[in-house]
């Protein structure tokens, strides 16, 4: 069945800002909606009831995508929790489906944070903030965008501040808006971004 609408759950406003720019690049004219929570804990707290509500009326041609930061959680345990929430509400998840056909909820863990996607497309960061060094992706601490130690947004903030940006602290929504405009959805060194892109592609083209 052809997808008619994608609903995305996110845990923070900066992810919403980025996706408002990135999703149209992936979805074209397809209808979508982003539902944003105040934080990760609030998303996890409200998600079971929200999913139960959706299960009573969601058209089969609509799909739900849940994006959650891993932070310090065990990735397997966090994913299992999301899967249980969806299955308890009566949904079939992409992970549980026997094929790409027939699922209506996809759960994805963003490892480690949205900012890992920026490190994965440093050309976009440079386009938005030209004074940052071009050599960042070649330096050992940043070669794997999803394994930056000490916090990804903190690392990004330090780089920006050394380059003369955000002297009073990283403004995440502003940063998301500026960088996402330049991001190439087809080229990103972050594995979690690739997983997100793959999830969207699977929803768009089930069974392929």
Q: Which domain holds residue 134?
A: 114-180
185 assigned to some structural domain: no
139 and 76 in one domain? no
Q: Per the structure, how many domains does the chain have?
A: 2
CATH number at residue 87: 3.40.50
139 and 91 in one domain? no
The pLDDT tens digits of the residues spanning 24-79 come to: 999 999 999 999 999 999 999 999 999 999 999 999 899 999 999 888 888 899 99
The beta-carbon contacts of 192-199 under 8 Å, at least 24 apart in sequence, are: 192/108, 192/109, 192/110, 192/111, 192/112, 192/116, 192/117, 192/146, 193/116, 193/117, 193/120, 193/121, 195/108, 196/67, 196/108, 196/110, 197/26, 199/65, 199/94, 199/106, 199/108
118 and 37 in one domain? no
Band (pLDDT 50/70/90 cuts) for residue 98 is: low
14 and 64 in one domain? yes
The pLDDT tens digits of the residues spanning 141-184 come to: 999 999 998 889 999 999 999 999 999 999 999 999 999 999 99
> For the whole model, what pTM was predicted?
0.91
């Amino acid at each position: 069945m052809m997808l008619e609408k994608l609903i995305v759950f996110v845990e923070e406003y900066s992810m919403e800002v980025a996706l408002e720019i990135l999703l149209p690049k992936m979805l074209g004219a397809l209808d979508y909606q982003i539902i944003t929570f105040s934080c990760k804990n609030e998303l996890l707290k409200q998600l079971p009831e929200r999913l139960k509500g959706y299960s009573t009326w969601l058209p089969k041609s609509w799909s739900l995508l849940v994006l959650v930061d891993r932070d310090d959680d065990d990735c397997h345990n966090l994913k299992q929790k999301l899967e249980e929430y969806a299955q308890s509400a009566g949904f079939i998840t992409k992970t549980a489906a026997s094929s790409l056909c027939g699922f209506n909820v996809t759960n994805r863990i963003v490892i480690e944070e949205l900012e890992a996607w920026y490190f994965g497309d440093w050309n976009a960061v440079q386009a938005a903030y030209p004074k940052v060094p071009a050599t960042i992706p070649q330096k050992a601490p940043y070669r794997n965008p999803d394994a930056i130690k000490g916090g990804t947004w903190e690392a990004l903030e330090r780089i920006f501040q050394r380059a003369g940006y955000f002297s009073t602290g990283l403004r995440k929504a502003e940063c998301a808006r500026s960088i996402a405009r330049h991001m190439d959805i087809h080229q990103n060194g972050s594995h979690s971004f690739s997983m997100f892109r793959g999830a969207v592609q699977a929803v768009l083209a089930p069974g392929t």
